[in-house]
Every structure is written in C-alpha cells, then in structure tokens.
Structure 1
Amino acid sequence: MMKFKVLCMSSLLVLGSYGSLQADEIDTKAVSSTLTVNAGYDQVVPQQTKVKMNATVNNQSATYQWIQTAGPSVSLKNAKTSTASFIAPTVTASTSLSFKVTATDSSGTKTDKINIEVWVPFNTTSDPSLLGDFSKKTGWACDQDLSKSGLVSSVTVVNLGSTKRYTITAIPKHAIGTFPNAGNPNLASQQLYTLDLPSSPTKQSTSTAVKLFGFTTDGVTFDRNTAECYNNSPSCEWRYEAVTAGLAKGAYQWSWLGSDCNNGHVQPNGNYHYHGLPESLINKLGDKGNKMVLMGYAADGFPVYGRWGYTTATSSSSAIKRVKGSYRLKSGTRPSGPGGAYDGTFIQDWEYVKGLGDLDECNGRFGVTPQYPNGIYHYYLTDSYPFIPSCVYGKVVDNDFLGAGR
C-alpha cells in the first residue's frame, strides 16, 4: 500500500484545470440562488442497452425536464422525472449523445448536462493483440457515479523543489462499473495516497521495472500487473495478464477479474485502479482520434498520453494516428508451468521486438506534444500489448511505485 506523508500545506496547490475533467458546466442564463441540479457523471455504455440518467437536486419539490441536445435521436422515457432512460442506439462507430436536464422550483431554474458515449469496441478477430471485444461481455457498462455515494475525486500537489508530492483519493471523475460483481468482490472506497515525482524528469540509458506505473490527471492509479499467478506460485513465474484474451480458449480475463469497461477493478482495500485503457476517462477528455490527450503522469514524472500520437514523433504538423506498441505473442508453447501455446493469458506470453511498432519497451518515445512543443520523452496507453507500461526510463524517487501490484 502507498504510504501516508505529512504535507506542507503552505505550498499546496490544487489541480483545478482538467479541461473536460471539470465538473459539468452549469447553464447560468436563468439561475436561482438556492436551487441546484446535477445530471451526474458521463457514462460509457454498449449499444442496445438501457441507459439511466439520474439527476439530483437540493429541493425535492422541484420539477424536471430532460431533453436530448446532440447525437442520434432516441426515445426518452420518464423525461419529466429525476430519472430518465432510453435504449442506446446501434452505431457503427463510437458515438456521443448529449442530454440536458432542467430543474424548476419557485425561485427559478437550473440546468445541467450529461454525455453518454455509445462505444463500439475493437474486434480481436482481426488482431488478437488488441483490447478484448467488450460487446461480448454482459454487465460491463460504466454507469455507476461514485460521487453520488459521497466519494470525492481529488488531486493536490505540493512543490518541494526537486520533487512534487501528489495526494490522490483514487476516485475517478467518471462513471465506473458495478462493484462488487461476480469477478470482483470488493467495493470501491476513497483512498488517501501520496506519491512523489521528479519536478524535472530526465531520461536514463536503462529502464526501471515498476509495479505501479503512475496515475491519471484525476488521481486514479495505473496498476500494470495483477497479483494472480499460476498455481499461486510465490515466484510468480507465470503471472496472469489482466486484459488480453487467453483463459478457456478465448474467454476474456475480465470474466474472472471482474473488470469494467475501463479495464478497471477494485483491490481488497477499496482502491479502484486501471489495468488497461480507461475508456470513460478517454471519452471525458474528448479523445476522438484528432489530437493527443494528456492522461496522467508516470512514476518518473514524464507525461502519459492516450492512444493517439503524431505520425512523425517530432512534427506537430504530421497526421494523428493510433500509436502501437512493439510487443508480440511468442511462438510455440510454454516450456514449463501451465504449458500450452502462448496465447496472451500470461504476461510472460509476450515479447518485445525493437522496431515492431512505434514505441520502446516501456511504451515510450521522444517527440513533441501539445503540452511540450519543444519535445519530451513521454509514454502512451495503447490498444495493443502492453496497454499500460511495466517500466519507465526516468529516475523513480518514490519507492511506492516499485511495490507490489494488484
């Protein structure tokens, strides 16, 4: 577990600029001094499933009106109540639908909005190294709003000269899946973790293996490894991979790890975290394939971006493309342990091949980014293995990043 540290509050800065991570914008054209309404966090859902939107107000006598403002038209049910619903349409590409709820009482009106992403995941038939096809999974929708349970998403940073100390609560600013569930018996709870990063990271000549890769801009951790090992071996010669297909001839790992649409699940201590691409956060940050999007920071302080990068790493005028890692499945069969063909069930089923993709063994490269126009070494979360890196190329100043993963 990550350690607690005494903070020097005189130099405390609160991270308040998350772009679209900010709380939903409130329409102030017609406002009340007392009435408030909250439409809830954005959701990511599969097509042809029932979607519920639950608004909350501070005046139970208020009336409601939901309307759709963007996206393919759907039929809203119970549009004049706090909880409206609809059936997600069939789509050929990931599609955003927008809705607005207006609450009215004797003092005036307030409005709030919510976005629903109807997601078409990747099909692994054509490329088995890609993220699992969530359309075959039941119950994966990310529609649980932790803030409605009183859990607070918070990231603060203290400048300590050569290092920055981040305090995070590990509660995302987006909806997650339902926990506990059949594959994960744990309930998400608010944490209080402190982690130190170099203020000015520098790339080294050799990489460092990490268990905890880093965290997002809204303070949720990237946990590369699982704690599950073949035959519960203490040496963990064969460690189960959290994302790729493998077990039971194509049954996806989340069937027993209980992961949601964000490739996230919950540790026994209540820590919600990611093992792969956090699709709800990607959607909330506006990652639509036309720009690089900053997702968070790695253990060495270098920035982490989503799946998109420049075709020419050093040219911001080059086209945006889906960046690929440089790993592939090994050929043949496992020489020990579980035996059988290398199929992605275990982390040890994969091998790095320099130059196979766009990135090095830590899923990183040097290049320009929107935040660093002069260039910086940076990392990517990818649709292909390793999804989240298991090593970094900068100096790690906080040993918590080197601790056990889950």
Structure 2
Amino acid sequence: MNQFFKLISALGILVVVFVACSNSDNVIDSSSGDETTNTESVTDYDTSGILSKFEGIGLLYAVNGNTVTFTTQDLPNHKSPYYPSNNDLYEAYNGTNSNYKQNPNRIATQNIVFTITLNPKEALNKRPTPLGPIGISRNGVVFFNQYAGPDQPLTTEIDSFDQYLGHPQATGQYHYHIEPTYLTEQFGEDAFLGLLSDGFPVYGPKENGEIITNDDLDAYHGHTSPTAEFPDGIYHYHITNQDPYINGNGFFGTPGNITN
C-alpha cells in the first residue's frame, strides 16, 4: 500500500512539473510574438500622405504601387542671381555673405527622375550617398550631400551659394547642400522639406521649438521621433548648420533609382 501511495505522489509531482514547464513555454512564446508585432508596427511607415506637399516648377509625381516617381525640371521657384538676367526669377545677390562669389554657371532646365519607396525601412547594409542628387525637396530642387567633390568639404563652395543657399553646377543643375532658407522661411524651421531617395523625410533645423544639432542625431544625420505629418513617429533626417548638413555617413534606408 505504501508503494501505491508513493507511486501516486510521484505521478502528481510529474504532472505539476509538466504543467509548469508548459505554462513557462507559453509565456515565452507570447512575449516573443508581441515583441515581433511591435517591432513591425514601429517600422511600418507609409509616406504617401505627404506627397501633396510637393509643388514646384516642372515638378510631377505618380504613384505606382508602393513607389512614387518624381520627375523634376529642377528649377527653383524662388529668385536667384543664377537665373539668366532675362528670366522673371532673376535677382542680383542680396544675401548676407560678405564673401559671396558667384560661380560662372547658370540655372538650366533638367530632367531628373527619382523612383522612391513609400514604405521606407532601415537597410541592413547602409550605402554612402553619391555626389549629385541624393533626394528631392518639396519644391522640386534636388538635395546634394556635404561634399563639393570627392571628399572635398564645402568650405570654399559655400561662398557661391545664392541668397536662398543654393547654386547650380556646371550643367546648370541647381541644388541645395545645406538649409534651403526659401523653404524654411515659407513653411517654418521645423517643417517637412523633402525626401531622400531612401524614402525617409527631411525636416528643418528645429524640433519642438529647439534647434537640432549633430549631437541629437545618429551617424546618418537622423533620428526617430513624432513629427507633424507622422504623429506616431518616423525615422527622419534633419538639416543642421554643421557638416554634414543634410546627411551623414550614408542612407539610413535603401536608396531608390535616380536618373539625370
């Protein structure tokens, strides 16, 4: 009889251990599932709602599935000394740089095409930004990176920026390397200013009333926080008054196609 009770007791202990282990496994699986779901929701971005903010001279866009194709003539919708003197948008330099030296180039109509994802995600392998267009501003002017040439800083070239801090290169391709003050004056220093070709948005030098510095941003010159257009938060770039100005060590996401 004693052996019978001992057998029953042993079986009871085994049942308790089995149930405890089973419950423990269920907790781990549930937690793991929740974490996966939350991670996906945080990075499930949709930028289609900001397309209506793009408006400029010779600027068109078309949505095809989860991508948008911008076609831009790259003509600034503000005055510049780089327009030919017979153009209505010509205006002599009247900025604040006492070292201003106009380069010999003139703004010319371009045909630049960007194909950009509407659902940007962080890239596993980050790519450096190239020379030439790396993104498009909301008025159709292209963004360039922080270099005047291969690994050459903007130190001297900055003196050729017009009163709205843009200028054309040799083929007449007008562009912004640094803050496009025409846009920040018009829309605000915390405003949405455009997209880089990886699909992540670019914002001005302020956030929540504070000036953003490079110390507030990661190596790619961005961070994740809520914005007016994305109240649930999104990774985005900020323009600052320090090198690299718009973008740092490369694209945070996977860049789309650019032809020009």
TM-score range, shorter chain: 0.5 to 0.7
**What residue number does 1:348 align with?**
none
Aligned: 1:276 with 2:178:
yes
8 Å Cα contact 2:199-2:253 kept in structure 1: yes
The answer for the alignment partner of 1:146 in structure 2 is none
SS in 2 for 1:204: coil
Q: Which residue is 2:140 aligned to?
A: 219
Alpha-carbon contact 1:174-1:284 (below 8 Å) kept: no
Across the two proteins, how many residue pairs are aligned to each other?
A: 192
Pairwise CA distance, 1:385: 1.8
The structure with the greater share of residues assigned to strand is: 1
What letter corresponds to residue 398 of structure 1 in structure 2? N
Three-state SS of the structure 1 residue aligned to 2:119 is coil
1:179 deviates by 5.6
CA contact (8 A) 1:179 1:186 kept: no
Aligned partner of 2:71 among 161, 164, 167: 167
* Cα distance in 1, alignment partners of residues 81 and 181 from structure 2: 12
**2:210 matches 1:321:** yes
More contact order relative to length (CA 8 Å, sep ≥ 6): 2
Would you say the 8 A contact 1:262–1:280 is kept in 2? yes
Give the direction of change, closer, same or farther, for the CA distance of 1:399–1:171 in structure 2 (3 Å limit). closer
Give, in whole Å, the separation in 1 of the partners of 2:101 and 2:145: 22
Partner of 1:57: none
> Structure 2 vs 1, CA of residues 156 and 253 (structure 1 numbering), >3 Å: closer, same or farther?
closer
Query: CA offset at residue 154 of structure 1?
Result: 2.9
Which structure 1 segments of 5+ residues have no match? 1-14, 22-151, 229-235, 245-251, 311-319, 326-356
Please give the secondary structure, in 1, of the residue aligned with 2:127.
strand
Counterparts of 2:121 and 2:225 in 1: how far apart (Å)? 14
CA distance change for structure 1 residues 376 and 383 in 2, over 3 Å: closer, same or farther? same
Counterpart check, 1:301 vs 2:159: no
Change (3 A) 1:384 1:182: closer
Question: Structure 1 residue 191 and structure 2 residue 49: aligned?
Answer: no
User: In 2 relative to 1, CA 384–225 (structure 1 residues): closer, same or farther, beyond 3 Å?
Assistant: closer
The alignment-based identity, stated in percent, is: 28
Structure 1 residue 368: deviation in Å? 0.6
Q: Distance in 2 between matches of 1:205 and 1:368?
A: 23
Distance 2:142 2:258 in 1: 15
In structure 1, the partner of 2:255 is: 396
Contact 2:112–2:258, Cα closer than 8 Å, also in 1: no
Shift of 1:226: 4.0
Question: Structure 1's 253 and 271: CA in aligned 2 closer, same or farther, altered over 3 A?
Answer: closer
Following TM superposition, by how much is the alpha carbon of 1:275 offset from its aligned partner in structure 2, in angstroms?
A: 1.3
Residue 173 of structure 1 and its aligned partner are, at CA, apart by 2.1
TM-fit CA distance, 1:274: 0.9
Q: Superposed, which structure 2 residues align to 1:255-266 within 5 Å?
A: 255=159, 258-266=160-168
Cα drift, residue 160 of structure 1: 1.4
Quote the residue 2:221 is aligned against: 363
Within a 5 Å distance, the mapping from 1:324-343 to structure 2 comes to 324-325=213-214
Residue identity opposite 1:159 in structure 2: V
Shift of 1:176: 2.5
Question: Secondary structure at 2:109's aligned position in 1?
Answer: coil
Shift of 1:223: 0.8
SS at match of 2:74: coil
Give every structure 1 segment of 4 or more consecutive aligned residues whose post-TM-superposition deviation is greater than 6 Å: none
Equivalent position SS for 1:219: coil
Indicate conservation of the 8 Å contact 1:183/1:254, yes or no: no
* Equivalent-residue separation in structure 2 for 1:371 and 1:276 (angstroms): 22
Q: CA offset at residue 178 of structure 1?
A: 4.1
Measure the CA separation in 1 of the matches of 2:253 and 2:238.
Answer: 15
Distance 2:111 2:61 in 1: 13
Distance in 2 of aligned mates of 1:208 and 1:216: 21
In 1: Cα distance, 2:82 partner to 2:170 partner: 15
CA offset at residue 193 of structure 1? 1.2
Shift of 1:283: 0.7
Give distance in 2, aligned partners of 1:16 and 1:295.
12
Aligned residue runs from structure 1 range 29-40, under 5 A: none
* Structure richer in helix, relative to its length: 2
Aligned pairs for 1:143-182 (under 5 A) are 153-178=57-82, 182=101
Using a 3 Å threshold, how does the CA distance of structure 1 residues 213 and 394 change in structure 2: closer, same or farther?
A: same
Shift of 1:168: 1.0
- Alpha-carbon shift at residue 296 of structure 1 (Å): 0.3
Report deviation, 1:177: 3.6
Equivalent position SS for 1:394: coil
Contact map agreement 2:70 2:113 (CA 8 A) in 1:
yes
1:376 is displaced (CA, Å) by: 0.8
Q: Report deviation, 1:279.
A: 1.2
Aligned to 1:241: 153
* Conserved? CA contact 2:146–2:245, under 8 Å: no
CA shift in 2, pair 1:178/1:168, >3 Å: closer
